[in-house]
Amino acid sequence: MYIRKQRLLTPGPTPLYPPALHAMMASDIHHRTEDFRKVYRSCLADLKEVMGTAHDLLMFAASGTGAMDAAVSNLFSKGDKVVVCSAGKFGERWAEIAKAYGLDATVLTAPYGDVVTPQRVEAALAQEPATKGVFVQASETSTGAMHDVEAMGRAISKTGAIFVVDAITGFGTMPLDIDGWGLDVAIGGSQKAFMIPPGLAFMSVSPKAWKLAETATLPHYYFNLKKEKKSGDAGESSWTPATSLILALAEALRYVKQLGMPHLIVNAQMLAQATRAAVQALGLELFAPGSPGSSVTAVKAPAGMDSGVIVKEFRSRFGAIIANGQGTMKGQIFRVAHLGYFDFADLFGVVAELEIILNANGHPVQYGTGVAAVEEVYAHAAVEPQTKKA
**What's the CA gap between 107 and 93, in Å, rounded?**
11
Indicate the residue among 213 and 356 with the shorter CB distance to its own copies: 356
User: At closest approach, how far in Å is the CB of 319 from its own copies?
Assistant: 7
Q: How far is the CB of 363 from its own copies (least distance, A)?
A: 14
Residue nearer to its own copies on the CB measure, 239 or 255:
255
- In the complex with its own copies, the residue whose CB is nearer, 303 or 345, is 345
d(CA 314, CA 301): 14
Least Å from the CB of residue 288 to its own copies:
23
Least separation in angstroms between CB 256 and its own copies: 10
Nearer of residues 214 and 384 to its own copies, judged by Cβ: 384
Chain-centre distance for alpha carbon 164: 14
Please choose, from the candidates 323, 303, 325, 315, the residue with its C-alpha nearest in 3D space to the C-alpha of residue 357.
315
Question: CB 367 → its own copies: shortest distance, Å?
Answer: 4
The residue ranges that bind its own copies (CB under 8 A) are: 1-7, 15, 25, 259-260, 263-264, 266-267, 270, 313, 316-320, 341-346, 348-349, 352-353, 355-356, 359-360, 366-372, 374-376, 378-379, 383-387, 389-390
Q: What is the DSSP letter of 20?
A: H
* Whether 368 contacts 374, CB under 8 Å: no
Strands (E), 48-103: 56-61, 81-86
Contact predicate 36/243, CB 8 Å: yes
Q: Which is nearer to its own copies, 54 or 360 (CB)?
A: 360
**Helix segments in 128-196, DSSP class H:** 149-156, 178-181
Q: How many whole angstroms from its chain centre is CA 176?
A: 12
d(CA 200, CA 267): 23
Q: Is 43 helix (H, G, I), strand (E, B) or coil?
A: helix
Q: Which is nearer to its own copies, 216 or 261 (CB)?
A: 261
Minimum Å gap between C-beta 345 and its own copies is 4
